[in-house]
Amino acid sequence: MDTTLRDGEQTPGVALKTEEKVWIARKLDDLGVDIIEAGSAITSEGEREAIRAVTAEGLDAEICSYCRIMQQDVDYALECDVDSIHLVAPVSDLHINVKLKKDREALKEMALNATEYAKDHGLIVELSGEDASRADLDFLTDLYKAGVEVGADRVCFCDTVGLLVPEKTTEIFKELSSAIDVPVAIHCHNDFGMAVSNTIAALNGGAKEAHMTINGIGERAGNTALEEVVMVLEWLYKYNTGIKTDELYKTSRLVSRLTGLAVASNKPLVGGNAFTHEAGIHVHGLLADTSTYEPITPESIGRERQIVLGKHAGKSSVTLALKELGLDVDESQLNEIVGRVKELGDHGKRVTDADLQTIAEAVLDIYRESKVKLEEFTVVSGNKAIPTASVRLTVDGKEIVEAGIGDGPVDATFEGIRKAISGFADIQLEEYHVDAITGGTDALVEVLVKLSREGKMVTSRGARTDIILASVEAIINGINQLIQD
């Protein structure tokens, strides 16, 4: 049972519109979920409208509404034309006495009356024990048995505040599954981070159904994450769940977008870092065999591998990333690219695919056969100083030193370069454009320049965190292109 649309929507700040519930329900159905808890019909007319919209879709999944053990709740569920109800009875003495202000016998009578009423009206009934992990197990078992006698089709054990541990869970479900003649379900919360482990333990103990949500969303610390349980069963237990696992990531992204709940970058399977690699030794292993540092293939849940580069990047990392970008480089070009990546990494930056492509293309331009090479340059600029630049170039094998002034440091540098090559080629700067590839004051910037010579025009680029250095790089690249042409 997926309860993203009911328990998941109870996450603080989440309120799904009717059409959004329908979109998610369609995706869950396509995923292969057996039961979709579409909401709680008692909540409001808007909620009932949304549940009716889901039932009207004619999905393969059984459509369920949450109900308290009250006839009114069942009547509202019937209005929504659902297939089943998740009929929830508080079963711990704490809940019975404090919340309901009743005793066990009164609670049992209410639960059985509601079960009979729902069955008389043609509904599938899953009788659920709320706060079951703090309930007396003998009383709970007796309630389940009595519920089955009056028609309950399934029963559910709810670890409402996440207090179970796997060893205890397995014991409980071995006992319940042997004592109850209908499928027993598990519903866990993640207050101690144990929801997935406890759900797997319950299934090992004999549970036939598990309640889960996409991305593990829900009240407080959330519910059991469906994608995690499914992949644990499929990959670690070799059990065929019938779920289309390659659609899990798309489903995760849809739920995240519509609920506005971001998925933590380190969340298993669907988090941003789950199939992202940076450290050089890991990527070196991936080049040989992706299973060295990936327990499953990213494609198995509809994802792609990502290589993120930083100060840990080595040649293997960069080679793999360039390969995935479709770029081929030789050893000297690779060394230059790696050096630039590490330089950015040392400044605390992560180099994205867009960054790497920009760096690589700039480097590939540099390593063409160059007749003009920059040896060094110095720029002086300030609020009371005229921008002045001195440049030292090697032009067709001859060293030339020149200086220039301009409206700014880039303009002054270009003027110095233009003067230095004036006896060799007459170059004009036609356009100059700067883009920040990433945000922040230390962003990688890409400079595009358009240069002309005797009616011929080229566009070239430079990429650095230093805007002046990127500009000089772009200009020198462009000059060499024009001279070659």
- The CATH number of the domain holding residue 189 is 3.20.20.70
In a domain, 2, yes or no: no
For the record, the structure tokens of 324 come out as 């995935």
Number of domains in the chain: 3
In a domain, 267, yes or no: no
Q: What is the pLDDT of residues 416-437, one digit of tens each?
A: 988 888 877 788 888 888 876 5
pLDDT for residue 308 is more than 60: yes
What is residue 258's predicted lDDT score, i.e. its pLDDT? 92
Judge contact between 123 and 153, C-beta under 8 A: no
Looking at the fold, whether 35 and 63 belong to one and the same domain comes out as: yes
Least confident of 69-83, 196-210, 269-283, 463-477: 269-283
In a domain, 266, yes or no: no
Looking at the fold, whether 153 and 285 belong to one and the same domain comes out as: no
In a domain, 250, yes or no: yes
Please provide the size of the chain in residues.
Answer: 485
pLDDT level of residue 462 (50, 70, 90 thresholds): confident
| Residue ranges making up the domain that contains 469 | 368-484
Euclidean distance between CA atoms 469 and 300, whole angstroms: 44
pLDDT for residue 145 is more than 80: yes
Euclidean distance between CA atoms 191 and 172, whole angstroms: 20
CA-based nearest residue to 147, from 170, 136, 139: 139
In the listed set 310, 343, 365, which residue is the last one of a domain according to the structure? 365
pLDDT for residue 294 is more than 60: yes
What is residue 71's predicted lDDT score, i.e. its pLDDT? 97
Looking at the fold, whether 58 and 133 belong to one and the same domain comes out as: yes
Half-sphere exposure of 198 (CA within 13 A, CB side): 29
Mean pLDDT of 192-210: 98
404: Cβ contacts below 8 Å, ≥ 6 apart = 388, 389, 391, 412, 413, 414, 415, 416, 417, 418, 419
pLDDT for residue 62 is more than 80: yes
- The string of DSSP letters for 165-197 reads -HHHHHHHHHHHHHH-SS-EEEEEB-TTS-HHH
Tokens 């995690």 correspond to 228
Residue 358: how many CB atoms within 10 A of its CB? 22
Looking at the fold, whether 253 and 324 belong to one and the same domain comes out as: no
Distances (CA, A) of 35 to 90, 164, 387, 405: 22, 24, 71, 74
Three-state DSSP state, 27: helix
In the listed set 315, 348, 365, which residue is the last one of a domain according to the structure? 365
In a domain, 268, yes or no: no
Euclidean distance between CA atoms 403 and 388, whole angstroms: 7
In the listed set 365, 400, 429, which residue is the last one of a domain according to the structure? 365
High-pLDDT (> 90) share of the chain, %: 58
Looking at the fold, whether 316 and 379 belong to one and the same domain comes out as: no
CA-based nearest residue to 216, from 207, 208, 225: 225
pLDDT level of residue 287 (50, 70, 90 thresholds): low
